[in-house]
Amino acid sequence: MNDIIVAKFGGSSLADSQQFAKVKKIIESDNRRRYIIPSAPGKRDKKDHKITDLLYMCQQLAAHNLSFDDIYNIVKKRFLDICSDLNLSFGMEDILDEIKEKIAHGASRDYAASRGEYLNGLILSNYLGYEFIDAEELILFDKTGKFDAKATDDKVNARLADVSHAVIPGFYGVMPNGEIKTFSRGGSDITGAIIAKGVMAQLYENWTDVSGFLMADPRIVKDSKPMEKVTYKELRELSYMGASVLHEEAIFPTREAGIPINIKNTNAPEDAGTMILSDISPVSHTGTITGIAGKKDFTVISIEKTFMGSDRSFFRKLMTIMETNDISVEHMPSSIDSISLIISDSELNSKLQKVVEEIRIYCNPDSIICYPNMALVAVVGRGMINTKGISAKVFTALAKEGINIRMITQGSSELNIIIGIENGDFERAIKAIYEAFQ
Ligand code: ASP
């Protein structure tokens, strides 16, 4: 590991000149913060627009030969205001006009969207006095549009070897034919992780507008505490069950390289935030949980068949039905003569009847019953490994609330307990479990 911090600042951290000033102060307070990844300006308040959204709109209007002057003027004013507030003059207006011309003359959707990060990167590099390195130089996609991790890693390594401090815009890179290609929405997180891996940084800081991940959804648990530490594995469990602050794909490069991520708040830089740590780091919080997440709207298909296990082809047939109907199964708790398939309604779409019919024909069960409107709650924490009493606490809390538990699974990693309940009990269950661990 090198004595380097890669710091990514999200859209709300760079939404206006006041936010830029906070960001500068943060960067300059630690000289290890050498490579800075900006997003495009985000919303300044609830009613405001993200620059990226406006740029997508401009491109769409232009593609239909409609005027996009009004919307582009909003974009332009936003960037020019930031420059004038910060006393920067480096020809921003000309650059903005050139981009407008390109959009008017058929520039791609990805090109248009990427300009938010490009322009914000130019401003930040001028403001900090750091070199500007265009993401086009570093982040490489192959000709099919797939991110090329190996080529990018080599490029980042070589290009940044002699650069002490630089600003590199997030969210996009380039294909071999020179076309700009963006990651999916929120993709500046990914750029930051890639750069952190490329320079083998000791830390990847992800600056946003919250002081880390919260233990539970704040819409359900008011004043939920933040998580101090969470491992990559725990975070995966939580994020696939609905919790999110960071782009999912951003986790992979740093996880692979063993680089921790610190989620920090630009508006409260002294807060510790959440540290995402490697899976092997020591457990400092035994006997408690790390977080709670969950999702509503699952259907359970419960299948009974006596001597299910002695029919060697039973499970294969069942899974083939799921595969041919392109349905991914979330969980499959089983007993000696029964198995339940828990499937998200968004996966199932309108295929339920067809699937049940096929199970009837191919698997010949004694009975099939479907239970709609189910929710899953995941209680996640490495602290529960080898600790007695965690599940007792969870189930007692639910019993006290009068919540009927319809299903329980615990992953063999002992990292989580997943509980199936009815949709209507979802919020109450999360609150009750959270309270039990305070
Ligand atoms: N500006 C892009 C978006 O709004 C990427 C990012 O902010 O990470 O999705």
Token pair, residue 318, equals: 């069942």
> Is there an atom of ligand 1 within 6 Å of 170 CB?
yes
Does residue 192 line the site of ligand 1, with CB under 6 A? Answer: no
Structure-token match 């996609």, residue found: 141
The finding on whether 186 has its CB within 6 A of some atom of ligand 1 is: yes
The CA dihedral of 190, 191, 197, 199, to the nearest 10 degrees, is -170
Q: Give, for all 438 residues of the chain, the pLDDT tens digit.
A: 889 999 999 999 999 999 999 999 999 999 999 999 999 999 999 999 999 999 999 999 999 999 999 999 999 999 999 999 999 999 999 999 999 999 999 999 999 999 999 999 999 999 999 999 999 999 999 999 999 999 999 999 999 999 999 999 999 999 999 999 999 999 999 999 999 999 999 999 999 999 999 999 999 999 999 999 999 988 888 887 766 778 888 888 999 999 999 999 999 999 999 999 987 766 666 678 999 999 999 999 999 999 988 888 999 999 999 999 999 999 898 889 999 999 999 999 889 999 999 999 999 999 999 999 999 999 999 878 777 888 899 999 999 999 999 988 887 667 889 999 999 999 999 999 999 998
Beta-carbon count within 10 A of 382 CB: 25
Point out the ligand 1 atom lying closest to the alpha carbon of residue 11: 7
Residues whose CB is less than 8 angstroms from the CB of residue 416 and which lie 6 or more positions away in sequence, other chains included? 237, 378, 379, 380, 381, 410
- Which atom number of ligand 1 is nearest to the Cα of residue 50? 4
The H or E element containing residue 380 is strand 367-380
* Ligand 1 binding pocket includes 184 (Cβ within 6 Å): no
Query: Which residue among 12, 13, 39 has the greatest number of ligand 1 atoms within 8 angstroms of its CB, and so is best to mutate?
Result: 39
Do 177 and 143 contact (CB within 8 A), yes or no? yes
Decide whether any atom of ligand 1 lies within 6 Å of the 264 Cβ. no
Give the nearest ligand 1 atom to 40 CA: 1
Beta carbons of 79 and 99 less than 8 angstroms apart = no
- Which residue minimizes the CA distance to atom 2 of ligand 1? 186
Atom of ligand 1 nearest to the CA of 185: 9
CA 117 to ligand 1 center in whole angstroms: 8
Give, rounded to a whole angstrom, the gap between the first and last alpha carbons of the chain.
37
Question: Hey, what domains does the chain have and what are their CATH numbers?
Answer: 2-277 (3.40.1160.10), 291-436 (3.30.2130.10)
Residue nearest to atom 8 of ligand 1 (CA): 186
Contact 73, 231 (CB under 8 A): no
Task: Say if ligand 1 is within 6 A of residue 187 CB.
Answer: yes
Nearest CA to ligand 1 atom 5: 186
Token representation of residue 175: 């294909």
CB of 40 shorter than 6 A to ligand 1: yes
Which residue's CA is the nearest one to ligand 1's atom 6?
Answer: 186
pLDDT at 283: 65
**Structure token pair of residue 178:** 């020179």
